[in-house]
Structure 1
Amino acid sequence: MSWLWPRLLTALLALLGASLLGGLVGYVASGTPWRAALAGAALVSLALVVRDAWRAHRLMQWLRGTQEGPAPRGRRFWGEVGYRVERALRLRERALEQERERLAQFLSAIEASPNGVMLLDSRDQIEWCNSVAADHLGLDPVRDLRQRVTNLVRAPAFVAHLQGGQFGEPLVIPSPRGDASLSIGVRPYGDGLKLVLTQDITERERNDAMRRDFVANVSHEIRTPLTVLAGFVETMASLPLTEAERQRVLVLMQQQTDRMQSLVADLLTLAQLEGSPRPPPDHWVPLASLLQRVQADALSLSAGRHQLEFHQEEEALVELAGNESELFSAIANLVNNAVRYTPAGGRVETVWRARAGGGGELEVRDNGIGIAKEHLPRLTERFYRVDGSRSRDTGGTGLGLSIVKHVAQRHGGELDVRSELGKGSSFRLVLPPARVRREPQVAALATG
């Protein structure tokens, strides 16, 4: 109300001044000062009304417009009104802009989430969804807004879950493309609104299946030799055996014992690879000594039945950075696998060669039985066997290539497998430049 009293005082002074001025003019002109005073007061009042109306008109025109420029300025009442209205509008615009920025940041955070988020109104129409949810459910995040979600995602289980109203447990359904498994959780909020959360659990289900298979395979692999050993022990305890039969049973028991020891050793190796820190990048191991040890093991395993070749294409003393036992285990597994699955008279060749950029690769290739294309993606899974009976006959545990893959990854490299059924296989252990160094000397590698 601070504007009211100055405004009333100004009007009263103007009226009083106009009356006095009108009375003076009337007295001089006609001797009737009261009429002139009334006329002067009326004129001043009219002038004040016209001025106020004009200022009010200017302010109303500004309010009816976009309010982009400043409000009409003036002294006293209408200037004060224009200033306060403009300030209130600017404060509201600033608050709305801040709210929009916060909303944009919130939506950006949701958009960056690896999980899908979708908002539904009380009629199950899509109010908003991020790109992950759109990809999971086969939606268009712009085109499908304000569409009923059950008209777009027609999986019966999803429709029944959404309409049933029992949202305690998440729903698992296949994705619309059929290439993934989705976990869908619905959370009611507000007045009939729903928050739908989607998550791709394909990898988790695959890992769970692999874990179950791993436990089942370990149990089976250990149970088989234990059953054989138990049978032999019972036989030796209950039946009279000749010396020749006794020796034969002891040999078979030793074979089963060795098989269990190999299995346990490979399991411990995998556990150590998964639980230990990455190999040091500054501990250098001569490649030649690794290949000599691998060659000795391969010659013993082959027993003269294969043609084994070990050579290096580059004329330099090559050293590898990492854990010596892990590198030996990886190379030995590749060479021994090639020997086991190559028929007698076949050839197994182990070659080291430089790669562009300073890295290197160790290739083990054979002309053995080869592997069908559909088996190649799963070769490095634990206990995965192309031919289970043949693997057991050759003494494999089904863990060798899994160990090689882990060693390669821990040394920053990769395992590349190429094979064709009936034409042999090629396994390449690729190492990055940081794990390979060379000295300008000729490394003499034995061949056999």
Structure 2
Amino acid sequence: MRKTLSSVCLIAGAAFILGMWLGPSTGWAIFAIALLIMVLISGRQHQKIKLWVRDLNAAPPVSAGPWDDVLAPIYRKIKQDRINLQTLNYHLDGIMMAAEALPDGAVTLDKAMTIQWCNQTASQHLGLNLATDQHQSIFNILRTPEFAHYAHQKEWEQPLLLHLSQRGRERALLLQLTSYGMGQFLLVSRDVTQVEKLETTRKDFVANVSHELRTPLTVLLGFLETLRDLPTESLLVEQRMRYEQMMLEQAQHMQAIVSDLLTLSTLESSPSAENTAVPLNYVIEQALQRVQALSNGQHDFETHIDDKLWLEGAETELASAVGNLLTNAIRYTPKGGTITTSWFMNDDGSATFSVQDTGIGIAPQDIPRITERFYRADKGRSKATGGTGLGLAITRHVIARHQAELTIQSRYGSGSTFSIHFPKERVRFATI
């Protein structure tokens, strides 16, 4: 405003001076023309400002006359606000990315318990689709009386354990509600399915170990009490020897269980052993000698072994896996049966070790659980042959530590084939 008044005063002064020199009419004409030019310039500047207002992100007009002092702070404020908004958006994006990366599910709810937002983990846990489920009631998604009762509590000191079935898969979720802000709620979900399975496995394992050790201990204590209470002369030498032999067998069985448990514990808790080039043909031949002695000529053996095919791995672990598969084949194959052992390379460069028998076979419902600890498809026969129930569990861990895969093909009453498929990255060839 001051600039405009100053300009008008200068024009009036100049026109007055010229009017005194050239005459009053000329002075007034000059004054009018100058004011007209000033109005035109002001109009032009106003037009530039109107154009700039349409796009405030652009820089203001270079010269807007008296408007410069007004436009400059406005533009600086807009520019600073834009920078602040970008910073806030950056932090908001970071927060949203962090929320999406959470291993737990997160769902925000309003005071009416309708869904406002959820991360990807919550979508997987609860089967949510934010595009269609946003602004829907959470009770339309979790339609269980347990959750409804839990959500309508005034306080949520403890989480809710909820079991859901989604697409044929059972899932155990731990849900925790908490309030925040003004009448808003946060629902956090955690998948504890695997934790429940591990806890069940642990309980079963403890129960199985107790059972497996209790039986031989009971037999052993029974014989010891019998020998202690009976007079020495009341037992024949043959009876005493038979009792001692049975006690020895039970003690050896307990020793085998403890040894397998220690092996299994080592495999589960220790890192993978240092890998070396293992001549697996030699490992297989050594295992075959032991099981042939165990067979005592009661079985026929066929072998198809590539002597030049080696394997990168831990020799002691591989020997344990090979020995377990061959020993099981002997135990579950009746007298006169055939055991076929193969070690060969596949067309894709991987390698396979397989043991095929003509034994009693495995029922289809038992195959998925056959590698569980102490699980026996034929409990009576396993006890009769002296198995600990841990051999295939040990084999499974060895296979996993060598990035291999176990396949089982069996028909109940017609024999089984156990195959270990090793990736081509572990295949080596004889160096001598």
TM-score (norm 1): 0.86
Counterparts of 2:124 and 2:106, CA distance in 1: 11
Partner of 1:444: none
Matched, 1:96 2:85: yes
The alignment partner of 2:130 has SS state of coil
Counterparts of 1:384 and 1:98, CA distance in 2: 59
- Deviation string for 1:304-342 (max 9, x for gaps)? 222222331x4x433333333222211111011011111
Question: CA 1:291/1:16 → structure 2, altered by over 3 Å: closer, same or farther?
Answer: closer
1:87-126 pair list within 5 angstroms: 87-126=76-115
The answer to whether the Cα contact below 8 Å between 2:213 and 2:254 also exists between their aligned partners in 1 is yes
Counterparts of 1:30 and 1:113, CA distance in 2: 85
The answer to whether the Cα contact below 8 Å between 2:45 and 2:65 also exists between their aligned partners in 1 is no
1:169 CA displacement: 1.7
Matched, 1:292 2:281: no
- Deviation string for 1:134-191 (max 9, x for gaps)? 1211111222122222222222222222221322222111235152111112232222
What residue identity is the alignment partner of 1:302?
A: S
Question: CA 1:127/1:66 → structure 2, altered by over 3 Å: closer, same or farther?
Answer: farther
The answer to whether the Cα contact below 8 Å between 1:279 and 1:323 also exists between their aligned partners in 2 is yes
The answer to whether the Cα contact below 8 Å between 1:22 and 1:40 also exists between their aligned partners in 2 is no
Partner of 1:256: 250
Counterparts of 1:194 and 1:49, CA distance in 2: 61
1:54-69 pair list within 5 angstroms: 55=45, 59=49, 62-63=52-53, 65-69=54-58
Question: CA 1:416/1:317 → structure 2, altered by over 3 Å: closer, same or farther?
Answer: same
1:40 CA displacement: 8.8
- Deviation string for 1:36-91 (max 9, x for gaps)? 88x9989978986786577456535643x343543344344312322332232232
Counterparts of 1:236 and 1:358, CA distance in 2: 61
Aligned counterpart for 1:395 among listed residues 386, 405, 411: 386
Question: CA 1:404/1:16 → structure 2, altered by over 3 Å: closer, same or farther?
Answer: closer
The answer to whether the Cα contact below 8 Å between 1:15 and 1:41 also exists between their aligned partners in 2 is no
What residue identity is the alignment partner of 2:154?
A: G
- Deviation string for 1:356-402 (max 9, x for gaps)? 34432210011111112222222111111223232212211110001
Matched, 1:231 2:222: yes
Which stretch shifts more, 244-253 or 336-345? 244-253
What residue identity is the alignment partner of 2:118?
A: C
What residue identity is the alignment partner of 1:155?
A: T
Question: CA 1:9/1:257 → structure 2, altered by over 3 Å: closer, same or farther?
Answer: closer
The answer to whether the Cα contact below 8 Å between 2:11 and 2:34 also exists between their aligned partners in 1 is no
Partner of 1:77: 66
Matched, 1:175 2:169: no
Partner of 2:303: 310
Counterparts of 1:41 and 1:389, CA distance in 2: 123
Counterparts of 2:265 and 2:385, CA distance in 1: 24
The alignment partner of 2:238 has SS state of helix
Question: CA 1:294/1:305 → structure 2, altered by over 3 Å: closer, same or farther?
Answer: same
Partner of 2:274: 280
Matched, 1:378 2:369: yes
Counterparts of 1:418 and 1:30, CA distance in 2: 120
Counterparts of 1:243 and 1:181, CA distance in 2: 61
What residue identity is the alignment partner of 2:385?
A: T
Q: For the aligned residues, what is the CA RMSD?
A: 2.9
Which stretch shifts more, 119-128 or 394-403? 119-128
Question: CA 1:214/1:116 → structure 2, altered by over 3 Å: closer, same or farther?
Answer: same
Matched, 1:337 2:328: yes
Counterparts of 1:9 and 1:414, CA distance in 2: 87
The answer to whether the Cα contact below 8 Å between 1:279 and 1:411 also exists between their aligned partners in 2 is no
Counterparts of 1:287 and 1:75, CA distance in 2: 89
Question: CA 1:46/1:366 → structure 2, altered by over 3 Å: closer, same or farther?
Answer: same
1:28 CA displacement: 6.6
Counterparts of 1:123 and 1:52, CA distance in 2: 57
What residue identity is the alignment partner of 1:184?
A: L
* Paired-residue identity, %: 37
Partner of 2:134: 145
Which stretch shifts more, 374-383 or 218-227? 374-383
The answer to whether the Cα contact below 8 Å between 1:15 and 1:45 also exists between their aligned partners in 2 is no
- Deviation string for 1:212-259 (max 9, x for gaps)? 111111111111111111111111111242323222211211111111
The answer to whether the Cα contact below 8 Å between 2:309 and 2:345 also exists between their aligned partners in 1 is no
